[in-house]
Structure 1
Amino acid sequence: MKRIGMLICAVLSAGSLVYANAVRTVGSGTGFFIFWVLLAVCFMLLLAAIRLDWFSKLPKRLRAVCVVCVCTFVAAFLGIEGCILNTFHAEAPPNLDYIVVLGAQVRKNGPSKVLKYRLEEARAYMKQNPDTICILSGGKGKNEPVAEAVGMSNYMVANGIDPARLKLETKSLTTAENLSNSRHLMEMDATVGIVTNNFHVFRAVQTAKRYGLRDAVGIAAPSSKKYLLNNMVREFFAEIKFLFSTLGH
């Protein structure tokens, strides 16, 4: 049994390192690949703990605290991931006044794959609802040639969307800023849908409601299956951060 546990830890550690490299090389503009490196280190420490029987050598109270902490973390993780999955296929009602496309990385050759998913979802909705106005929200990051909103607008116009139906918000650098700034580009009583990737819908709608878009609905765009695990785990920590930030409101 001990050998099986050690083997599992070794495999998970190696797998985490391989996945970390895959996430890093995709060049998504985030440093979250470091999480997978740290996870690999944790699995190696767990392997050592199993081999040297560290856990049984701990005082009973400390062991109990460790078990409670692990169980609490697992429960929180499963609960939040369940909420994220619940909005994975979110669809908006027809004839919304506005849809807001949340920005993501723009490269020299155009929107990243993640952003293209969002733009294609927005384009499909606009074709079905010809009176809906689209707000493209996103500023210019350090590793981007233009503001995300500008890159998105270029893509939408090149793919048949009337520029008159587009509004650009070019200052925001976070989801909170996306939604706070976009709110000022629409009427107070406007109906609005938030277009983002499926793993991001749950937190995006929560954020929209915090900033006054109380009737906002999510519109889920697809995402890359290869990096879905990374995105889901990252969203867990982002949601924890969001929940703690609400304590000050």
Structure 2
Amino acid sequence: MWILWLIAVLCVIYYVIIVTYSGLSTSFSIIWLFFAAVCILFGLGWDTYIRQKDRIPLWLPVSMVTICCTGLLVFTIVEILVFTGVAARDTSKLDYVIVLGARVKEDGISKSLKKRLDKAIDYLDENPGTILVLSGAQGMDEPVSEALAMKEYLVFNGVKEEQLILETRSYSTVENIAYSRVAIEEDQERKKAKSQESPIIMVPGTYVEVPDKPIKIGVLTSDFHVFRAQQIAKKWGIPDIYSISCDSDPVLFIHFCVRECAAILKDKLVGNM
């Protein structure tokens, strides 16, 4: 079928575009060459079936079509969850916002990370009392940790250092959430200990004890990544997580959606969400 050949060509072209645009040649981008190969094989198989219908059992093409349709259905359902499964909530005046890291290049932060940090700056302008938890370790191909790169960018753009907590141990979204939760708990303990250094003495009976106000925690990441980050947070100790999304790179948007679908299925399978 000519449609399969066209899809294969488009996959190869898109692969070249994203590699040239962002240098993702060693990452998940290879999936587009895989898609192209699958389309070519299906195209050849279809041509063979048309020419030799009498010799090829019907169950074989039916099985192949069923597998493809099932894959497309799963992808569609996951993407619907990604972009409509997170209900809009009031995210103002959060106590902490976890900013998830992204790739840091030799010549600076990636476009995805810049969009997240610009969104964080905008959020702080409207909510100056919020503390940002910058989460991300240093990958083997990164000059510094993602958290440190984020800090440098934010401080350069006017954010106060005392509003930033660095979490530099995480290499995945699960670790981002888990280690950031620990960092928030440690910050809460430091603040509690500091407040107890000079306690206010009051006469018994002149005050009423009230329970501590629960802290409000949010996670800030790219739009395609919010659903998975939120679900992982609920699984790993932050059940009432707020989500803040920023736009993703339009050139890489389709690639990110495909990659995110695979990541969601994997995390669901291994129990991370």
TM-score, scaled relative to structure 1: 0.90
Q: 1:83 to 1:103 in 2, by over 3 A?
A: same
Equivalent residue letter for 2:109: P
Q: Paired residue for 1:146? A: 144
Equivalent residue letter for 1:244: L
Alpha-carbon distance in 2 for matches of 1:214, 1:89? 14
Matches within 5 A, 1:1-249: 5=1, 7-25=2-20, 26-28=22-24, 31-53=27-49, 56=53, 57-86=55-84, 92-187=90-185, 189-246=214-271
In the TM superposition, what whole-angstrom CA distance separates every residue of 1:207-245 from its partner, at most 9, and x where no partner exists?
111111101121111111111000001111111101101
Structure 1, unmatched stretches of 5+, are: none
Cα pair 1:29 1:105 within 8 Å, conserved: no
Cα pair 2:15 2:33 within 8 Å, conserved: yes
Higher-Rg structure is 2
Cα pair 2:92 2:127 within 8 Å, conserved: yes
Per-residue deviation, 1:15? 1.1
Equivalent residue letter for 1:18: I
Alpha-carbon distance in 2 for matches of 1:35, 1:231? 11
Per-residue deviation, 1:87? 5.6
SS in 2 for 1:37: helix
Per-residue deviation, 1:46? 1.5
Alpha-carbon distance in 2 for matches of 1:229, 1:110? 24
Give the share of equivalent positions with the same residue, in percent.
35
Q: What RMSD over aligned residues (CA atoms) do the two structures have, in Å?
A: 2.2
TM-score, scaled relative to structure 2: 0.82
Alpha-carbon distance in 1 for matches of 2:121, 2:251? 24
Alpha-carbon distance in 2 for matches of 1:68, 1:52? 18
Per-residue deviation, 1:70? 2.9
Per-residue deviation, 1:64? 4.4
